[in-house]
């Protein structure tokens, strides 16, 4: 049986990844389409033109289908935290719980209340109140995303917390440090603006299909005018926040950056690889044998990472084996330091089991940040706690090919979206878009590409964090619950069936409604 060959950890990771990927198929369209609908409804309220009412209702119907199918799929991730990732769930404590609770309140009270007014409130509430509900639904969905992304960002960059030895969990010491960390702020803007681009491409793609069919041409052209301008602006913002992400990752997750670039040897004036084909893992040990071929942009990686074309960018080998000259600790050294912290936790456990209060107090003092001894221990040892569980230094290297190619899919597609949306907007403005049938087909087929790019972005963020569940503090192997792999395998396939059924339902209802088109009241 397959489960015999895969460990519980592999199944738990596969299940979480699959659930998150499916969930993320539904979310970005909700985040972006909400604002596009709000803009269209604003035009209706200002002009009182029934055309805008009909157009708004059409896109709102597609929004509703996507929202209904996708709603609550994220809750399955929370089930998995409790069952498959119980060590992690307890260890992260209220840091993860608080943002998720706030997200739940936002999602329930703001989205759920105003979405009802959005769909049921036509002719029952004033046009101004309806418009307010539409805007608040869009804003509420995006504010919900903020808190989810705050929780995710803390896993990438654990700040604003102190470890409580007695409860064996991290406790929030600074809400603002967690909620407004540079990783959280940038991740939020990068994620939501990329979702705006996906929604814009969806509207452009569906409208292009109508132009190809010579149906609903006024609605298609005006929808394209709004969506292409909206998408073009936010595609540029996405590129800007993506650039900021690179600079932040260079500081807080240097291994992720090195793996994204398959940079093995650190150097000053490091180039950015535009395109390349990697050799198999067994043949890749340094920069001379990493690629079959590649095209570099000189000094670009240093410039993007540290805003200095000659800055030193550490490579995979520097981070695994250390670089004394650059002051980079080896993973082996970090493992030794981490083991001191893990052993100290072991001593605490033994003392607790024996009821040895003197030994408990001695260990507790080492985890007390208010004393010089405690501060030194937390800085020199507990900061590398997760390394204490590793067997080999090489385990800190994530999957290089998956990251390398996913990153290029995301960035390449993002650049293409800027060009496409700009071109579509320009041609539509000059009333020449309908003649360019090849471009309309490109717009239609760009919709799945937008989803692919969006998923590639998450692969970059999450696979790049491996082997950590919480950067430097907890590897995924320790985060996972010790439960039979067979049970996780069963639920993996149950989820696969459930989500696939939901996706098929969404696509079939969505396609049917697009074929029907806007309705007259």
Partner 1 sequence: MNVFRKVIRFYVEGFREMTVGRTLWAIILVKLFIMFAVLKVFFFPDLLAGKSPEEKADYVLENLAPPASGTEPSIQ
Binding site for partner 1 (CB under 8 A): 7, 9, 61, 64-65, 68-69, 71-73, 75-76, 79-80, 82-83, 86-87, 89-91, 116, 119-121, 124, 166-169, 339, 342-343, 345-350, 352, 388-391, 395, 467, 475-478, 481-483, 487, 490-491, 494-495, 498, 502, 505, 509, 513
In eight-state DSSP terms, residue 280 is P
φ/ψ (deg, to 5) at 464: -65, -20
Instruction: Return the number of the residue (353 or 431) whose C-beta is nearest partner 1.
Output: 353
Residue 336: CB minimum distance to partner 1, A? 11
CA distances to 79, 168, 281, 331, 378 from 337, rounded to whole Å, are: 34, 19, 29, 10, 10
Residue 247: CB minimum distance to partner 1, A? 30
Instruction: Return the number of the residue (432 or 512) whose C-beta is nearest partner 1.
Output: 512
Count of CB atoms within 10 A of residue 116's CB? 12
Q: Are 161 and 170 in contact (CB under 8 A)?
A: yes
Residue 481: CB minimum distance to partner 1, A? 6
Q: Are 428 and 444 in contact (CB under 8 A)?
A: no
Residue 129: CB minimum distance to partner 1, A? 12
Instruction: Return the number of the residue (150 or 479) whose C-beta is nearest partner 1.
Output: 479
Is the backbone peptide bond immediately before 210 cis, with ω within 30 degrees of 0?
Answer: no
Instruction: Return the number of the residue (169 or 256) whose C-beta is nearest partner 1.
Output: 169
Rounded Cα gap, residues 285 and 270, in angstroms: 18
Instruction: Return the number of the residue (47 or 112) whose C-beta is nearest partner 1.
Output: 112
* Structure-token pair, residue 397: 């290297």
| Of 352, 269, 273, residue with least CA distance to 310 | 269
Compute the residue count for the chain: 521
Instruction: Return the number of the residue (71 or 278) whose C-beta is nearest partner 1.
Output: 71
HSE-up (13 A, CA, CB side) for residue 393: 15
Rounded Cα gap, residues 144 and 108, in angstroms: 10
Residue 46: CB minimum distance to partner 1, A? 26
Q: What is the largest CA-CA distance in the chain?
A: 83
Instruction: Return the number of the residue (271 or 388) whose C-beta is nearest partner 1.
Output: 388
Residue 323: CB minimum distance to partner 1, A? 25
Instruction: Return the number of the residue (319 or 390) whose C-beta is nearest partner 1.
Output: 390
Q: Which long-range contacts (CB under 8 A, 24 or more apart) does 53-58 make?
A: 53/521, 54/219, 54/518, 54/519, 54/520, 54/521, 55/219, 55/222, 55/223, 55/518, 57/122, 57/518, 57/519, 57/521, 58/219, 58/517, 58/518, 58/519
* Structure-token pair, residue 92: 């992260």
Instruction: Return the number of the residue (389 or 451) whose C-beta is nearest partner 1.
Output: 389
Residue 495: CB minimum distance to partner 1, A? 8
Rounded Cα gap, residues 144 and 150, in angstroms: 10
Residue 3: CB minimum distance to partner 1, A? 15
| Of 516, 374, 394, 502, residue with least CA distance to 65 | 502
Residue 504: CB minimum distance to partner 1, A? 11
Residue 356: CB minimum distance to partner 1, A? 13
Instruction: Return the number of the residue (17 or 71) whose C-beta is nearest partner 1.
Output: 71
* Structure-token pair, residue 70: 């996708």
Residue 388: CB minimum distance to partner 1, A? 7
Instruction: Return the number of the residue (424 or 480) whose C-beta is nearest partner 1.
Output: 480
Helix (H, G, I), strand (E, B) or coil at 291: strand
Helix (H, G, I), strand (E, B) or coil at 78: helix
């Amino acid at each position: 049986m397959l489960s015999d060959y895969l460990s519980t950890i592999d199944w738990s990771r596969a299940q979480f990844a699959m659930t998150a990927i499916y969930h993320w198929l539904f979310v970005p369209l909700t985040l972006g389409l909400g604002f596009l609908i709000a803009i269209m409804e604003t035009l209706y309220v200002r002009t009182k033109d029934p055309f805008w009412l009909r157009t708004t209702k059409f896109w709102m119907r597609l929004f509703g289908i996507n929202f209904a199918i996708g709603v609550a799929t994220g809750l399955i991730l929370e089930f998995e935290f409790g069952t498959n990732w119980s060590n992690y769930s307890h260890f992260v404590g209220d840091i993860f719980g608080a943002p998720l609770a706030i997200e739940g309140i936002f999602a329930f009270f703001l989205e759920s209340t105003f979405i009802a007014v959005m769909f049921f409130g036509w002719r029952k509430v004033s046009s101004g109140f309806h418009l307010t509900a539409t805007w608040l639904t869009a804003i509420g969905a995006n504010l919900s995303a903020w808190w989810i992304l705050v929780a995710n960002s803390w896993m990438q960059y654990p700040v604003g917390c102190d470890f409580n030895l007695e409860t064996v969990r991290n406790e929030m010491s600074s809400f603002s440090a967690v909620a407004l960390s540079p990783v959280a702020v940038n991740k939020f803007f990068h994620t939501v603006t990329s979702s705006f681009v996906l929604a814009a491409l969806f509207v452009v793609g569906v409208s292009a299909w109508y132009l190809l069919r010579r149906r609903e041409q006024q609605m298609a052209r005006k929808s394209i005018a709004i969506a292409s301008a909206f998408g073009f602006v936010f595609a540029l913002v996405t590129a800007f926040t993506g650039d900021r992400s690179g600079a932040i990752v260079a500081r807080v997750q240097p291994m992720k950056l090195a793996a994204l670039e398959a940079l093995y040897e650190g150097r000053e004036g490091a180039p950015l690889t535009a395109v390349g084909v990697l050799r198999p893992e067994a043949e890749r040990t340094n920069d001379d044998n990493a690629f079959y071929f590649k095209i570099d942009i000189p000094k670009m990686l240093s410039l993007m990472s540290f805003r200095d074309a000659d800055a030193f960018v550490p490579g995979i080998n520097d981070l695994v084996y250390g670089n004394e000259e650059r002051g980079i600790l080896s993973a082996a050294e970090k493992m030794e330091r981490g083991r001191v912290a893990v052993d100290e936790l072991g001593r605490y456990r033994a003392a607790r089991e024996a009821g040895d209060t003197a030994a408990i107090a001695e260990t507790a003092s080492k985890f007390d940040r208010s004393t010089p001894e405690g501060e030194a221990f937390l800085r020199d040892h507990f900061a590398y706690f997760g390394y204490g569980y590793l067997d080999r230094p090489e385990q800190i290297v994530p999957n290089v090919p998956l990251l390398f190619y996913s990153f290029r899919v995301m960035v390449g597609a993002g650049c293409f979206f800027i060009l496409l949306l700009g071109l579509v907007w320009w041609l539509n403005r000059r009333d020449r878009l309908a003649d360019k049938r090849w471009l309309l087909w490109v717009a239609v087929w760009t919709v799945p590409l937008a989803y692919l790019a969006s998923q590639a972005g998450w692969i970059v963020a999450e696979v790049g964090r491996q082997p950590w569940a919480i950067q430097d503090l907890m590897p995924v192997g320790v985060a996972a619950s010790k439960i039979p792999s067979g049970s996780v395998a069963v639920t993996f396939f149950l989820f696969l069936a459930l989500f696939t059924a939901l996706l098929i339902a969404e696509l079939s209802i969505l396609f049917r409604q697009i074929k029907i088109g806007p309705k007259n009241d």
